[in-house]
Copies of this chain bind each other. A is one copy, B any other.
Amino acid sequence: MNNTDNILAKVKDNKEIVGIIGLGYVGLPLAVSFAESGVTVIGFDKNQDKVDKINHGTNYIEDIRDAVLRDVVDKIKLSATTDFSRINECDALLICVPTPLDVFKKPDMSYIESACTEIGKHMKAGTFISLESTTYPTTTESFMLPIIEKESALKHGDDFWLAYSPERVDPGNKNFHTRNTPKVLGAMTPDGLKIGEAIYTKAIDSIHPVSSPRIAEMVKILENTYRLVNISLINELALLAGKMDINIWEVIDAAKTKPFGFQAFYPGPGIGGHCIPLDPFYLEHIAKKYSFDLSLIHTAGHINMRMPHYMYIKISTALNRHKKAVNGSKIFFLGVAYKPNINDYRESPALDIMDTIIHKGGNVSYNDPHISKVKTNEGNQFQSVELNEMTLKEADCVVLTTNHDAFDVDFITKHAGLIVDMRNMIKEGNDNVYKL
């Protein structure tokens, strides 16, 4: 039996072991989805705290139900470890590590590099490897393959198979989760694709195969670039609409009645999260290699980067109408998560606005029912304060930065003296409410 037949037979008999590298927002739901379907899963992470939590059945991701995690851990379908040598127990390795940007907005490939090195050192022959992290097209073939082949002294196609299958996790989405979101899969060889489909099918309802990893890499970039460009477009229009005395929210609601050729996006203080604000820079990175100028995407990224600054101007303008300066004023932010009803504040524009306000001499506080403390890019640290009549009244300006369902808009409107509403949370405006 060759390696291909061997792994396919194992998968057919439900005897394969799936290793998930990186147990964050992407990796843990994926691990749980496999374990729920009866596959034995080993989760790898360098963070001892996360590993301990999982092994105790303690959930730390809002989109996973606690009972489900406890159940698959109790049944020993899912266990976690910091010991990467256990990679050699696995038949499939799915890499779900972060791909952040460095401070110069260049892709930080160190997590992928480290995962590939560990895999190369420890994996056995006959292993299927798939990257799920967002990255620039050609990463799988040109960046990962050489590292794994060098470290393992194994040969792709015969001894292991490499693929790319982008995660499509949308935290807080009530309708779509890991299992029922179709998954794109591009492998380097037909055998790799066949094996990848057999493995992923256990955790995901629908697999969409494509002809190469670079196609799959571009798919993810297209999806996220589409969102970045459209949010930037509506932010640009919102800023113009503000000058023209046009309520952009009413415009969007009306445009949505068009039954074809339109999808609504909403303005806000900027785009957060670990995907959309970053991906265009990944594409720009590789485009440079081809001497190609991505003018539209560059402009969209620029608008997004400027949004926190425009939001500072909005706050300053609102205070000015009350004859106050930012300098010395108390600014109370409601919501630091980058989108509603989640506990993630990575790349959240609220933090950038807070940093700017502090620079200008303002006193900053915040409340977020999902996040008890934050540290900004500039190192400022805050703890969530109570949201009550007193904290609202004491603030010179209350800024609505995240539209959490938990916020009682009527209560806030009643007690705050001045509000800047960046999320259209207050439908009936009054003189003390300034909208984006």
Select the stretch in A69-77, A87-95, A209-217 that faces chain B: A209-217
Q: Can you add 20 more A-B contacts, CB < 8 Å, to A226-B233, A263-B263?
A: A138-B244, A168-B258, A175-B260, A184-B257, A208-B257, A215-B250, A218-B241, A218-B246, A219-B251, A222-B237, A222-B252, A223-B261, A226-B263, A229-B230, A230-B230, A236-B296, A243-B290, A244-B290, A296-B299, A296-B303
**A295 located at the interface, meaning its Cβ lies under 8 Å from any Cβ of chain B in the complex:** yes
Whole-angstrom distance between the Cβ of A237 and the nearest chain B Cβ: 6
In angstroms, Cα B168 to Cα A251, docked, is 15
- Complex partner residue of A244 from B137, B244, B263, CB under 8 angstroms: B137
Q: Are A254 and B219 in contact (CB under 8 A)?
A: yes
Within 8 A of B (CB), among A184-232: 184, 206, 208, 210-211, 214-216, 218-219, 222-223, 225-227, 229-230, 232
Chain B neighbourhood of A236, CB < 8 A: 294-297
Q: Give the oligomeric copy count.
A: 2
Contact string, A107-143, partner B, CB cutoff 8 A, digits 1/0?
A: 0000000000000000000000000000001100000
A251 touches B227 (CB 8 A): no
Question: Is B292 a contact of A255 with CB atoms below 8 Å?
Answer: no
Residue A170 CB within 8 A of the other chain: yes
Tell me the complex Cα distance, A255–B186, Å: 13
Task: Check: A353 CB closer than 8 A to any chain B CB.
Answer: no
Cβ-neighbour of A296 out of B247, B287, B296 (below 8 A): B296
CA distance A243 to B303 in the complex (A): 27
Give the residue of B246, B247, B292, B302 whose beta carbon is less than 8 angstroms from that of A240.
Answer: B292
Mostly, the A contact residues are helix
Q: Which residues of chain B come closer than 8 Å to A232, judged between CB atoms?
A: 296
Within the complex, the shortest CB–CB distance from A135 to chain B, in Å, comes to 14
User: Which chain B residues lie closer than 8 Å to A214 at the CB level?
Assistant: 244-246
In the assembled complex, A385 has its CB within 8 A of some CB on chain B: no
- B-side contacts of A252, CB under 8 Å: 222
Question: Could you tell me the distance between the alpha carbons of A218 and B225 in the complex, rounded to whole angstroms?
Answer: 24
Q: Could you show 30 A-B contacts with beta carbons less than 8 Å apart?
A: A137-B246, A138-B244, A176-B260, A182-B258, A184-B255, A184-B257, A208-B257, A210-B250, A210-B254, A211-B250, A214-B244, A215-B254, A218-B246, A218-B248, A219-B251, A222-B234, A226-B230, A226-B255, A226-B261, A226-B262, A227-B262, A229-B229, A229-B230, A236-B296, A239-B292, A240-B290, A243-B292, A263-B263, A295-B302, A296-B300
A299-B295 in contact (CB<8A): yes
A259 CB–B CB distance under 8 Å: yes
Note all chain B residues with C-beta closer than 8 A to A296: 229, 232-233, 236, 296, 299-300, 303
Q: Which residues in chain A, 137-178, are within 8 Å of chain B measured between CB atoms? A: 137-138, 168, 170, 173, 175-176
Contact with B along A281-318 (1 / 0, CB 8 A): 00100110010101111011011000000000000000
Q: Are B260 and A216 in contact (CB under 8 A)?
A: no
**Residue A59, interface by CB 8 Å:** no
CB distance from A296 to the nearest CB of B (A): 5
Q: Which residues of B contact A180 (CB under 8 A)?
A: 259
Whether, in the assembled complex, A181 has its beta carbon less than 8 Å from a beta carbon of chain B, the answer is: yes
